[in-house]
Amino acid sequence: MDALSVPLRWWTPQGGFDAAIDWSAEVVAVGVAGQDERGAARAAIRAALRAALAQWSGAGPDAVALHAEPGVAPYAIIDKAGAARRAWLAISHDGALSVAAIRFAGPVGIDLMQVSAVPDWETVARDYLGPLSAAALAALPAAERDAAFARSWAERESRIKCLGWQLDEWRAADEPALHACACLPLDLPAGYAGALALA
């Protein structure tokens, strides 16, 4: 994995990945583009996850069971040579992109945000990103603010997902745990910001 950003392996319409997956990496990120409708996006990213994990196991997609229960971070159980193996998963959708992370060593978080103007960005930043992030965003030129807001939001959300928390308003007491998660940017197409967090 590049120390500067996490590359994604994109699931193609032909039903394969655009490049080989490096299973020696601590975390694998996959993506699907071109699905604006939420239900289709969910189905497509789950197909990509199942295909990736089937590739890892050397078995067919039937050997991969994806679990997404309310209030529990998604995970997979993979039957590899008759032994069950757990993979921690994280999934995010926005615009026409969906991304997911796979990690065998422990929890992972991922988040994606389309860069766009947020009309009430000051209130949202203060309430959810905290006073330091809000001040840093306010200090930026207006032309840079939308992308910086998207990056900050994606970093916070990826850390929250990594810890298995629900999105809530900013609290100083949460910051040590959130910042104990390593956070790396995703290598995404222009117009998107994303981050991946590892506990």
Residue pLDDT tens, the chain, 199 long? 345 789 999 999 888 999 999 999 999 999 999 888 889 999 999 999 999 999 999 888 889 999 988 878 899 999 988 889 999 999 999 999 999 999 999 999 999 999 999 999 999 999 999 999 999 999 999 999 999 999 999 999 999 999 999 999 999 999 999 999 999 999 999 999 999 999 8
| Three-state secondary structure call for residue 126 | helix
Task: Dig out the tokens for 46 from the structure.
Answer: 């789950």
Q: What is the dihedral of CA 42, 185, 67, 64, to 10 degrees?
A: 90
96 within domain boundaries: yes
* Residue 79 one-letter amino acid: D
Residue with tokens 């309310």: 70
152 within domain boundaries: yes
199/190 Cα distance (integer angstroms): 27
94 within domain boundaries: yes
User: For the whole model, what pTM was predicted?
Assistant: 0.93
3 within domain boundaries: no
DSSP alpha helix (H) spans, 127-182: 131-138, 142-163, 175-179
111 within domain boundaries: yes
Domain that holds residue 57: 8-198
Residue 127 belongs to a domain with what CATH number? 3.90.470.20
Domain count, the chain: 1
pLDDT tens per residue, range 74-128: 999 999 888 899 999 999 999 999 999 999 999 999 999 999 999 999 999 999 9
1 within domain boundaries: no
2 within domain boundaries: no
66/43 Cα distance (integer angstroms): 12
122 within domain boundaries: yes
